[in-house]
Structure 1
């Protein structure tokens, strides 16, 4: 039996343990962790509980960030980390969490989602390479792994105005989402 639900405060230690076994503590030095400041987005941070003991078998988190777009700053979310217990990998838990969390992000009206991960894993969810749209992280990144997912009209407007778009930790100066559209990250 698998139950997917929102992460709660009591899950923190189990998630950290899962992240350490999945990625090691060196994950904290990666560029994308510079964006993971403050709390994760609670409505988008999910866990998959397994068995009768409700053990956490997988976790996904999202973090708010800002994207400089010329004279304006756009709010965005960064997907990750996504981690699945090695004993449960290959059973679709990760894909289920990604699909469910992105559906929640769409419903909340997030216009822009970023991820650093395997393109073949994230492209089915509408992610495309970020570099052609001018996105730049605050440190080194393997460019083929840096991807963006946005509403088609937003992607088109970004493509029409080629500039460097720096991705920065959330400043708190922008609202969480742009507008009240229901399908903000739709591909």
Structure 2
């Protein structure tokens, strides 16, 4: 992908590399504070790997992490026939506080959604500020009968369908379906944090 230029500085969107995990966690702490680890969505992500090919970073010209986003495999309840509804959970999206308002987060979001669609996923859910995520097509119109395993403000539980009608009739609890992180990787991540 061609680099973006934000305030004269080049920023490139890339797949997250294994060596980015510690820097990613530090960026999340700077951008969101340590409470991001206690959020309801984190309970779904805990101990799981991001969906294949759907973990991205925006890297500044000096190689540092400017922003990060991951998407996770979930089931968004069941459909009216009792079948699980596969989907993705997005988050967290974090931008280096020094780059907020420069468009890096929006570019990263557009890239992540486009890749999810290209890979054949049907919908993306997230918990976030509706005024920010509405520009990417997210609304709470399809999440009313879907629940998360913890507290969440309903107007912040949003979804975008990548395939029209994908979430029609979806109801029930969101559950993680992604692969587990191996024990050695969990230990290495815990030590790095």
Secondary structure of the 1:128 match is coil
Which residue in the other structure is 1:44 paired with? 54
CA–CA distance in structure 2, aligned partners of residues 20 and 91 of structure 1: 20
Q: How much does 1:95 deviate?
A: 0.2
Q: Does 1:168 align with 2:175?
A: yes
Q: How much does 1:165 deviate?
A: 2.3
8 Å Cα contact 1:40/1:64 also seen in 2:
yes
Q: How many residues align?
A: 166
CA–CA distance in structure 1, aligned partners of residues 166 and 108 of structure 2: 25
Q: Where does the alignment leave 5 or more consecutive residues of structure 1 unmatched? A: 173-187
1:15 and 1:132, CA in 2 relative to 1: closer, same or farther beyond 3 A? closer
Range with greater deviation from structure 2 (15-24 or 62-71):
62-71
Q: How much does 1:15 deviate?
A: 0.4
1:75 and 1:118, CA in 2 relative to 1: closer, same or farther beyond 3 A? same
Q: Does 1:121 align with 2:132?
A: yes
8 Å Cα contact 1:7/1:42 also seen in 2:
no
Q: How much does 1:103 deviate?
A: 0.2
2:17 to 8, 23, 42: 8
Q: Where does the alignment leave 5 or more consecutive residues of structure 2 unmatched? A: 1-9, 180-193
Normalising by structure 1, report the TM-score: 0.82
Q: How much does 1:96 deviate?
A: 0.2
Q: How much does 1:9 deviate?
A: 0.2
CA–CA distance in structure 1, aligned partners of residues 13 and 120 of structure 2: 21
Range with greater deviation from structure 2 (103-112 or 40-49):
40-49
Secondary structure of the 1:21 match is helix
Q: Show CA shifts across 1:122-147 (max 9, x none).
A: 11211110565411111110111100
Q: Does 1:21 align with 2:33?
A: no
Task: Tell me the C-alpha RMSD between the 2 structures.
Answer: 1.7
Normalising by structure 2, report the TM-score: 0.80
Q: Show CA shifts across 1:50-107 (max 9, x none).
A: 12x2111111111111122152112111011000000111100000000001000000
1:46 and 1:55, CA in 2 relative to 1: closer, same or farther beyond 3 A? same
CA–CA distance in structure 2, aligned partners of residues 97 and 131 of structure 1: 24
CA–CA distance in structure 1, aligned partners of residues 64 and 143 of structure 2: 41
Q: How much does 1:154 deviate?
A: 2.4
Which residue in the other structure is 1:180 paired with? none
Which residue in the other structure is 2:151 paired with? 140
